[in-house]
Amino acid sequence: MYVCVCKAVTDTQIKTAIDSGLCTRRQLFECFGVGGDCGKCNRQVKELLDAGKQKPFIMPSVSNQPAYNAC
pLDDT at residue number 65 = 53
- Predicted confidence band at 53 (pLDDT cuts at 50, 70, 90)? confident
Can you spell out the DSSP letters for 45-58?
HHHHHHHHHTSPP-
**Sign of the torsion formed by the C-alpha atoms of 37, 41, 45 and 46:** positive
Q: Which comes out higher in pLDDT, residue 18 or 63?
A: 18
Q: Is the pLDDT of residue 57 over 70?
A: no
d(CA 29, CA 21): 14
Non-local (6+) Cβ contacts of 37 within 8 A are 6, 7
pLDDT at 61 over 90: no
pLDDT in tens, 11-52: 999 999 998 889 899 999 999 999 989 999 999 999 999 998
